[in-house]
Amino acid sequence: MNRLLAIAIDPPTGTGKTLSQTFPTLSSLISVIVKNSFTIAGTILLILLIFGGLMVIIGAGSSDSKKSAQGKALVTDAIIGFVIVITAYFIVQIVEVTTGLKILNSGL
């Protein structure tokens, strides 16, 4: 059992490389995280829009204005959150252009 703890386990990158070999710079790691965060944010947006829409429909069908208002608030909050994520991406792009630093690698 002690021997198991002494074995170096590489992350499953698929190429047999370590994490530092796969992402040689911090910007390449951040680029991958940001690209994946857009996918996750879009998926969460879709789920919240569907759930909020169902809450509005169920609230309207049962004449429950409180549940309908909660559904509308959920949809509004989901859209605001997604706009914040997109705005953050554009702010990073503006910082790249103004400072000349390469934060997000487009070559990955």
Q: State yes or no: pLDDT of 108 exceeds 50.
A: no
Please report whether residue 1 resides in a domain.
no
Query: Using an 8 Å Cβ cutoff, are 85 and 38 in contact?
Result: yes
3-state secondary structure (DSSP) of residue 89: helix
DSSP string, 10-46: ----SSS--HHHH--SHHHHHHHHHHHHHHHHHHHHH
User: Residue 41 is part of which domain span?
Assistant: 24-99
Number of domain units in the chain: 1
The segment with the largest mean pLDDT, out of 16-30, 39-53, 56-70, 90-104, is: 39-53
Q: State yes or no: pLDDT of 52 exceeds 90.
A: yes
At 59, list the tokens.
Answer: 């609230």
Please report whether residue 33 resides in a domain.
yes
Please report whether residue 57 resides in a domain.
yes
Please report whether residue 18 resides in a domain.
no
Percent of the chain with pLDDT over 70: 80
Q: Which amino acid is at 38?
A: F
Over residues 75-102, the pLDDT tens digits come to: 999 999 999 988 988 898 898 889 887 7
Please report whether residue 7 resides in a domain.
no
